[in-house]
Amino acid sequence: MSDQIHTNARTTPTTRKEIQASSQPQRLLAKRFGVSRLTIRKWQARTDVLDRSPRPPTLQTTLTPLQEDVVVALRTTLLLPLDDLFTVTRACVSPAVSRSGLHRGVKRHGGLRSEGVDSGRGRGHHTRQTLQDV
């Protein structure tokens, strides 16, 4: 964690320490520092005074790591466009996967930009390969 505070933060590390050390009621502290009682409760409950990341500690994905590896292998081996990869993934790997989740998973593994895969943007220098061609 860096010592930088969020640009929209209403409290600084110094005020957060004061909130944590104070024995005044939450209502008075909220009025004194110009923040909500919820903010006071949050900083009293914490042991540190640094901002935390708003991202969840673990990503929620439909596919298991093994399934993601299979999908990335399909993408890089068969050079399927994302829509066709989505169809194959729903049929063979996991029917619960969403197109956006599949896109994020493939992107996370660096399998989005493969040679020979048409992105569907109509640049015309790649030939579009579909499931019927494979």
CA distance 23 to 17: 12
Tens digit of each residue's pLDDT (9 = 90 or more) over 45-104:
999 988 887 777 777 788 888 998 999 998 988 888 999 999 999 999 999 999 998 998
Exposure letters 20-58 (e unless 16+ CB within 10 A, then b): eeeeeebeebbeebebeeebbeebeeeeebebeeeeeee
- Cβ distance 35 to 56 under 8 Å? no
Tens digit of each residue's pLDDT (9 = 90 or more) over 82-98:
999 999 999 999 999 99
CA distance 52 to 6: 9
Look up residue 75 and give its two tokens. Answer: 């993408």
